[in-house]
């Protein structure tokens, strides 16, 4: 009786410790730099029309589960205009990424969802200063970036990504008027995994 109880305890301990050991082995860090183009769509008719502009994303993540990573992002975007000066967008926040279990050793499809804060600097707002009496060159809003893409592991520990996505701008939640509605983007990236 005691021997079978010891065997049952040993099996139970192995069952508890084996997943913990494997989970520790799955913990990985990755960093990614993405560059691409973005198109912003605005809700405010006073904001001049926008064109395609460059965007740069930085991501850092840690894998907590085999197919799920959580991390932080930052991005800079230049919202180009046909007239006046270009508008700059600075943003940062947190995200989680789900890697598809349907993948090959080199190709990994993924889905990324985040939430963050974006600050926009619009030099054209200075033109309205004499009319409004307010300096509204800086505005901010909450954003929800969504992206889908694929990673290609070309040389360990490095990988490339190609992704596209949409960033939804949430008006009025961060305490200032926000002319943005959404932004579409395409990006290529280079990253490392540890």
17 in any annotated domain: no
182 in any annotated domain: yes
pLDDT-above-90 percentage for the chain: 44
Q: Within 13 Å of residue 62, how many CA atoms lie on the same side as its CB?
A: 5
38 in any annotated domain: yes
Domain with 69 in it: 27-193
104 in any annotated domain: yes
User: How large is the average pLDDT for residues 103-129?
Assistant: 83
pLDDT in tens, 35-76: 999 988 877 655 555 678 899 999 999 988 889 999 999 999
Does the global pTM surpass 0.85? no
Q: What is the CATH number of the domain that holds 85?
A: 2.40.160.20
Angle 117-118-119 (CA atoms, 0-180°, nearest 5)? 125
Instruction: Work out how many domains the chain is built from and give that number.
Output: 1
Burial of residue 6 (number of CB atoms within 10 Å: 0-12, 13-18, 19+): exposed
């Amino acid at each position: 009786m005691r021997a079978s109880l010891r065997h049952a305890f040993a099996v139970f301990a192995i069952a508890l410790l084996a997943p913990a050991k494997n989970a520790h082995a799955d913990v990985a860090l990755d960093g990614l730099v993405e560059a691409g183009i973005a198109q912003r769509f605005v809700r405010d008719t006073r904001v001049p029309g926008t064109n395609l502009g460059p965007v740069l994303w930085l991501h850092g993540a840690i894998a907590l589960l085999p197919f799920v990573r959580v991390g932080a992002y930052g991005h800079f975007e230049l919202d180009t205009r046909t007239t006046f000066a270009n508008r700059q967008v600075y943003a940062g926040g947190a995200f989680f990424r789900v890697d598809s279990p349907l993948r090959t050793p080199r190709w990994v499809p993924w889905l990324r969802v985040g939430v963050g804060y974006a600050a926009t600097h619009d030099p054209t707002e200075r033109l309205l200063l004499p009319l409004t009496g307010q300096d509204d060159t800086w505005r901010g809003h909450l954003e929800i970036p969504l992206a889908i893409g694929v990673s290609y592991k070309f040389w360990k520990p490095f990988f490339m990504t190609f992704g596209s996505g949409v960033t939804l701008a949430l008006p009025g939640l961060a305490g200032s008027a926000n002319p943005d509605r959404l932004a579409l983007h395409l990006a290529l990236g280079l990253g490392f995994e540890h």
